[in-house]
Structure 1
Amino acid sequence: MDNSQTYPLFMATDVVCRILGVDPQVMLETSGLGALPYGRSELRGTAKQYFDCWNTMEVLSPRPDYVPHLGVAISRGPVIPVFFTLSCAPDTETGLLRLAQFKSLLGPTLMRVFWDGGLLRLEFDSVDARVPMPPNLGALHLVTVVENIRGATAHPVCAVAAGFDGSEEDRHMIAGHLGVMPERSQAAYVAFAPEDAKRRFVSENPALWADIEADLSLQLAAQNNRWPVADRVRGALIDLMPSGRKGAEDVALALGISRSTLQRRLHEEGTSYQVLLDATRRDMAIRYLTKSTLRVDEIASILAYRDANSFSRSFRTWTGFSPTEFREANDRNFT
């Protein structure tokens, strides 16, 4: 395992802290990461630093039931593009296999999906065996995936087996959400009956999935320096924008190069950072307006706009229509 590998911390600083009402700067300082430039550029950390943030969150949380509270809030709250891998799928098994492919984009967690004894089993683990995943982070994964499946199937799906390395109190805390009492186990896992594994999703969206898969593949490729810089920039933007970051400095940091090097290489490829930012935003906006039911303000947030009005002004510049007008015209063309 390469100890220099880093992962975005936005799930901790921008999602979990907001849900729990914890000051992100206080969390980082308590974790020993106060020197990180929160609010000025994308924050990334090693697997150990990522897990240190989670352990600190456990201490700072004002709620004793923070694990199930977070699991429900994350599954029903902020739009996180990686979760489209699950919701766009035709059924539970397909969605989980897709999610496993891109799970590492959210943090240093491996997700395995396989059949075991007639049950569909998911296991969550650290990407680095030397840096174990905190037990309650494993518990959060279990709650979140069950809640996401319930939303996608519109059915009260329950696990038939589950486990993680938590105390009896911790296991009781999530039992009601999973539908089964988790056992004490080294692996964080959850298992589903065959009928739930094959249960159809009401949220299936193959047209949107085709584009989302391409976007997520670009995100993975963003760390591969053999790809053209323009492609890597688009991948980094898709990764960064949902956390509100869109600056060249953020992208350069994510790619592991200086801002001046980024600009020079883009010039050599016949483009510029602003051209790529506008094109990426435009393409994603059109996709979400025509292939999803996301509200305009939700799309604006995914694209790192300050508010829906700012997004609408840009969209009108690109297309001559407001987002609402564009969506209504597209709907009329297909009715």
Structure 2
Amino acid sequence: MASKQSFTLDPGTRALLHDLGISVARVLRRAQLPAGFFAHGAVTMATEEYYRFWGALDAEAADPDLAARIGRTLSAEAFNPPIFAALCSANLRTAADRIATFKPLIGPVGLDVASGPTGLTIAIHWPEGPPPPPLLVSGELAFWVALARIGTRHEVIPTRVAMRHAPQPSAETTSYFGTRIRESETDAVTFSAEDAALPFLTEDESMWNFFVPELRRRLSELEASATTADRVRAALHERLPAGESSINAIAAQLMLSPRTLQRQLQAEGTSYQAVLSDTREKLARRYLADHSLPTSQVAYLLAYDDTNSFYRAFRRWTGLTPEAARTGNRLTPA
């Protein structure tokens, strides 16, 4: 995801800061953003501005438990349209899939959603370049817990919460999540299969159908400014768990012929096979960092025909077997 892209920061953020007792003006001043940033409704931010905003919010609050406070304070009124629309889903599993599709409209965050018998894992990945502010990471994890609780009206407790740079444990944050945040190679939250399937009391399919055409239009506009390789990666994130890895399937999703797709990738100095291999490797590292996912399921999520094919590919990328990489903590991003 290119850092030059812009993302929408909804005016609901101003209401959230008010509810938290944090001065919007002081946060904007710290972030070196215009004082009237929210004066005309939704605003767009580049990745660097988005990171500065969250870093400034953290500094202004000076509260190590701010992510937990954000989670407890969040309400549907503070959600962006894609998130509000996702509340209309049948359950958390469906909402996660829908949010993953439209998340690029909201911020420089990508989501990998893995669902299976062991539960629902939502892994977060960030653009290349400077790391995101810690509050943005922990706030994203707190959001998913809040969404599950708002939708189901149950005190849903994740089975695992993990960050690459986990904060020092605190009673308040552990109380909010129901478990401590663990150190890991990936930023992710996992819910049990039972909790992921709990019905959302906010389900409203007609409302979702009302929102989705506009969300798709905005997403198309955003994708039009992305490189072909970016668009292929985004399509692979969606199609690989469904077992689709062929250039024909991805080209059809992008409404291109396979020949045109390959030609556009060649003009960018790459190829479909190179983008597929790179995407699979990065996803493999993220999935394997979640020790609750068996290797066979990781192979399935990457659309390999069998586990042996995945083993051969992983050894080609890393010189290791998946088990050896897990045991030796060798799963840092490629």
**Shared fold, TM over 0.5:** yes
Question: Does the aligned pair in 2 maintain the 1:139–1:174 contact within 8 Å?
Answer: no
Instruction: Using structure 2 for the length normalisation, give the TM-score.
Output: 0.59
Q: CA deviation at 1:167?
A: 4.6
SS of corresponding position for 1:221? helix
Identity in percent: 22
Unaligned segments of structure 2, at least 5 residues:
226-334
Residue 193 of structure 1 aligns to which amino acid in structure 2?
A: S
Distance across 2 between alignment mates of 1:186 and 1:77: 33
Query: Distance in 1 between the 2:122 and 2:223 partners?
Result: 28
Q: Which residue of 2 aligns with 1:30?
A: 30
Q: Give CA deviations for 1:27-80 in whole Å, capped at 9, x if unaligned.
A: 222223348865357542221221111011111016553211112222354353
TM-score (norm 1): 0.59
Give per-residue Cα distances to partners, 1:208-257, cap 9 Å, x unaligned: 1111111211222344679xxxxxxxxxxxxxxxxxxxxxxxxxxxxxxx
Deviations 1:130-156 (A, max 9, x none): 132222211111212112112212222
Where does 1:43-62 land on structure 2 (aligned, <5 Å)? 43-61=43-61
How far apart, CA to CA, are the structure 1 residues paired with 2:8 and 2:29? 17
Query: Pairwise CA RMSD of aligned residues?
Result: 2.8
The question of whether the paired residues in 1 share the 8 Å contact of 2:119 and 2:194 is answered with no
SS in structure 2 at match of 1:202: coil
Q: For residues 148 and 3 of structure 1, do their structure 2 counterparts lie closer, same or farther at Cα, with a shift above 3 Å needed?
A: closer
How many residues align? The count is 225
Check whether the contact 2:174–2:181 (CA below 8 A) recurs between aligned residues. yes
Q: Which residue of 2 aligns with 1:93?
A: 93
Which residue in 1 is equivalent to 2:189? 190
Give the secondary-structure state (helix, strand or coil) at the position aligned to 1:169.
Answer: coil
Question: What SS class does the counterpart of residue 183 from structure 1 fall into?
Answer: strand
CA contact (8 A) 1:125 1:132 kept: no
Equivalent AA in structure 2 for residue 81 of structure 1: P
Alpha-carbon distance between aligned partners in 1 of 2:154 and 2:13, rounded to the nearest angstrom: 32
Number of the residue aligned with 2:149:
150
1:84 touches 1:212 (CA, 8 Å); kept in 2? no
TM superposition shift of 1:158: 1.0
Secondary structure of 2:74 counterpart: helix
Q: SS at 2:215's partner residue?
A: helix
Query: Residue 75 and residue 40 in structure 1: after superposition, are their counterparts in 2 closer, same or farther (change >3 A)?
Result: closer
| 5+ long unaligned stretches in structure 1 | 227-335
The Cα of 1:24 is off from its aligned counterpart by: 2.9
Q: What residue is the counterpart of 1:5 in the other structure?
A: 5
